[in-house]
Structure 1
Amino acid sequence: MTKTRIAILRKQRGWTQEKLAEESQVNTRTVQRLESGEDASLETLRLIANALDVQIADLFESLDDSDKSKEIINLDSRKAKQTQQWLTIRSFYRLGMYTVFIVLMFTLLSAVSLLNDDSWIGLIGIIFWIILWPLGVSVIKIIQVSWIEPYLSRKYPMAENPKSVYKRQDSNNLEIQKKSHSWLWILGILLLVIGIGCVLVFLPLLKIIF
């Protein structure tokens, strides 16, 4: 390996060595040693790279054919793979929750429509149904932040900060973009259409029963 670019990347962000140490959860002396060209463990390099939102290989001006360089390239590849898995699974869970929520809301609307004989009760039901939309979306976001994302972070500990993954390309010049999850959106839309269709079919049966 050759001279590191850590100092350059740090200064581009306007960070001091102390700030980089804080963001990467290493001590300031470690940052100083790295910037002076001393060696470090792959885990330390990974923490620094995560804090700077770059691949580990980007911390160096170039990589040679040494075993350490090969380990860095392999680690970057694993990191990119886990990040893509993290994003894909999160999208799947989120689409699943929104699909179930929307189907339940339309089912509730069909039940409220049965109360149209009583205008006041029906009006209250519609108002309650409208209020449930932002509440439901908020609950889904809470579940995503409090449960799904921590679970995925434990399952894929090498996954990169998802906020930065769309801003650049990885070491193999393969950009991870939202369009890679388009098939999940198609699946979600199909499930939504099927759910609404079931509600429309079920609605006449409810009116007959009640």
Structure 2
Amino acid sequence: MTNNKIADLRKQRGWTQEHLAEVSQVNPRTIQRLEAGEDASLETLRMVANALGVQIGDLFESISDSNKGKEIEGFDKQKADQTHQWLVLHKFYRLCLIVGFVILMLILISLVSLTDNDRILDIAGIAWLILWPIGLGVIKVFQTVWIEPRLSRKYPLAESLNPAYNNDLKGTTKKHSGLWIAGIIILVILMIAVIWAGLNFYLFKLFGI
């Protein structure tokens, strides 16, 4: 392969060869050989491309070996397809979990509303509000611990090491970061409210105050 752009891509980011080797999890000597124009396996090129946030084909201006070029082009397409499928299914499963949780919460509040006891309604209402941030937290954990590993096994080329892939997920995380902070604050406030309501209830029962 000729007209290697790895050194230029690395320098654009202000990285040394050692840093690129560390980020891509390859030997520094491998980076030196690649930048010198030596051939490498697709796996090595994949790891370097992931670290630089580009497709494998973008590492080279031209590829002298036509068979190698076709192999790289096919690999890049397969990787892009798997990353797209990963993201689509990830969003779909998350939406299903949230919709299911909302339906469950609506069923719970409907059942509680059947009682005529005001004290039970007050406590159940507070507990119902507390369940929202807790439920969203459980969904987040389930998504991270169960769904994402299985999607990654199904689509092994859709790697989280890909900066472009990470940026997509980071964008989603940033959009919801304010909601997570608000949820935690609400949870703390509601826990204090429950404790305060419980103390008042027992004080009233014991001392009539």
The TM tier, using the shorter chain, reads 0.7 to 0.9
**Alignment-mate amino acid for residue 33 of structure 1:** R
2:148 alignment partner AA: E
Higher helix share: 2
Residue 139 in structure 1 maps to residue 138 in structure 2: yes
Matched, 1:57 2:65: no
The reply to whether residue 8 of structure 1 matches residue 31 of structure 2 is no
Separation in structure 1 between the aligned mates of residue 163 and residue 111 of structure 2, nearest angstrom: 40
Distance in 1 (alpha carbons) for counterparts of 2:9 and 2:141: 34
Normalised TM-score (structure 1) = 0.74
User: Residue in 1 aligned with 2:43?
Assistant: 43
Is 1:110 aligned with 2:110?
yes
Runs of 4+ in 1 over 3 A off after TM superposition: 160-163, 165-168
Paired residue type of 2:39: D
Corresponding residue SS for 1:101: helix
The alpha-carbon deviation at position 2 of structure 1 amounts to 2.1
Query: Contact (CA 8 Å) 2:52, 2:163: kept in 1 or not?
Result: no
Cα 1:29–1:12, aligned 2, differ >3 Å: closer, same or farther? Answer: same
Structure 1 residue identity aligned to 2:41: S
User: Counterparts of 1:45 and 1:15 in 2: how far apart (Å)?
Assistant: 17
Aligned partners of 1:123, 1:11: CA distance in 2, in Å? 62
Aligned-partner Cα distance in 1 for 2:105–2:132: 8
Q: Distance in 1 between matches of 2:108 and 2:12?
A: 53
Q: Percent identity?
A: 60
Alpha-carbon distance between aligned partners in 1 of 2:142 and 2:10, rounded to the nearest angstrom: 34
Q: Which runs of 5+ in 1 are unaligned?
A: 169-177, 179-210
Describe the SS at the equivalent of 1:164: helix
Letter of the 2:29 counterpart = R
- Tell me the number of residue pairs that the alignment of Structure 1 and Structure 2 aligns: 168
**Inter-CA distance 33–58: structure 2 relative to 1 (3 Å threshold):** same
Q: CA deviation at 1:133?
A: 0.6
Aligned Cα root-mean-square deviation (Å): 2.1
Once the 2 structures are TM-superposed, how far is the Cα of residue 19 of structure 1 from its aligned partner? 1.7
SS in 2 for 1:61: strand
Which one-letter code corresponds to 1:153 in the other structure?
S
The Cα of 1:22 is off from its aligned counterpart by 1.6
Distance across 2 between alignment mates of 1:13 and 1:106:
50
* Alignment gaps of 5+ in structure 2: 173-209
The answer as to whether partners of 2:2 and 2:63 remain within 8 angstroms in 1 is yes
* 1:39 Cα deviation from its structure 2 partner: 0.7
Structure 2 counterpart of 1:73: 73
Task: Compare relative contact order (CA 8 Å, sep 6+) and give the higher one, 1 or 2.
Answer: 1
1:91 aligns with 2:88: no
Does structure 2 conserve the Cα–Cα contact (< 8 Å) formed by 1:80 and 1:160?
A: no
